[in-house]
Amino acid sequence: MIYPIWPIFIRSVLGANMTILGILDGLGEAIVSLSQASSGYLSDRIRKRKVFIWVGYLMGAFSRIGYALSTTWATVFPFRILDRAGKIRSAPRDAIIADISNDNNRGKNFGLLRTADHLGAVVGIIICLLLVNHLSFSTIFALAAIPSLIGVGIILFLIKERAAEKIHAFKGIRLKDLSRNFKLFLIISAIFSLGSFSYSFLLLYAKEFGFAIQTVPIPYLIFTVAAALSSYPFGHLADKIGRKNVIAIGFILWIFAKLYIKVVGLLQTFVQSTVGGSRYQSFLKPH
C-alpha cells in the first residue's frame, strides 16, 4: 500500500536527495537479509514460528505510524530499520509452508503463498490509487498500519502452532554442512544481487518519464499483478520440471528485463536527441 508512494514521500515531502533515498533502501535491504537469516535460524532452534510472524507484522504496523509522524528524512531512519526488521516474519512463515509440504507439492504451495502475498499488494496499491488524490501521504501511511494489525490478530488467535516434534529443526549453520548445489546457488544469487537496484528509482523514473504523482503507482501495480499471476503457475511448474529449471528461467527473464530497461532508456535518449537536433538544425538551415 505504501511502497508505490514511498520514494515520492521521501523526495518530495521530506526533501531528501537521491543519495539519501538510496541509503534508506540499501540499508533496508541489508536489514531484511539479516533479519530473515537470523529469524529462520532462531525459529528452528526454539521450534516456534508464530511469534516471529506476528511480531514482524506488529513491527511493520508501528513503522508505518512512525512514517506518518515523520517530518524530516532523518527521523525516517529508525522507522525504516523497524520496518525492514519486521521481515523476521518471512523465513518462519516460509518454514510453516515447508513443514506441511513434500517434494510433490512444495512448489505449488509456495507459489500459492506468493500469489496471495502479491494479490494483497495489488489490493493495497489500488487503495493507494483511490486515496492519493484525497488524503495526504502521512494519512495513507497511518492507514497502512491497519492491515498489519489485522494480520497480528489473525495470527495470534486463528493460526495454530504445529507440535514442536513435527517441526524439522535445523541443527546449526556450518558451511561444510551445506550441499554443493546450495553453495553454488548462493554464489549465483549473490552475483545477480549485485545487479539489483531499488524499485524506488524506477518509480521516480516513471515520474520523470511523465507520470503524474497520482498515477506513479500504476507501473508498480502492473508489476505486482504480473507477479501475482505468474507465482502459482511457476510454482506448480517447479514441481513438474524441477526447481533448478524454473530458477534458471527466472534468472533469464531477469536479465532480459534489465536489458529492456537499458535499451528503452537509450532509445528515449536517442529520440530526444534526434528530435532536439532536428529542431536545432531547422533553425540553422535556410528556408
Give 107-144 pLDDT, tens digit per residue: 888 888 888 888 998 999 899 889 988 899 999 999 99
Give 32-71 pLDDT, tens digit per residue: 988 988 898 888 888 888 999 999 999 999 999 999 999 9
For residues 142-159, average pLDDT: 92
Give 192-226 pLDDT, tens digit per residue: 777 666 778 778 777 777 777 778 888 788 888 88
pLDDT at 177 over 50: yes
Give 66-88 pLDDT, tens digit per residue: 999 999 999 999 999 999 999 99
Structural contact between residues 28 and 199, judged by C-beta atoms closer than 8 angstroms: no
For residue 137, the one-letter residue type is F
- The answer to which of 100-109, 172-181, 230-239, 248-257 has the lowest mean pLDDT is 172-181
pLDDT of residue 64: 95
CA distances from 39 to 22, 28, 61, 87, 90 (A): 25, 16, 19, 9, 8
Domains of the chain: 3-161+193-241 (1.20.1250.20)
pLDDT of residue 264: 65
How far is Cα 100 from Cα 158, in angstroms, rounded to an integer? Answer: 17
pLDDT at 17 over 80: yes
pTM of structure: 0.80
Residue 201: all three cell numbers together: 528509482
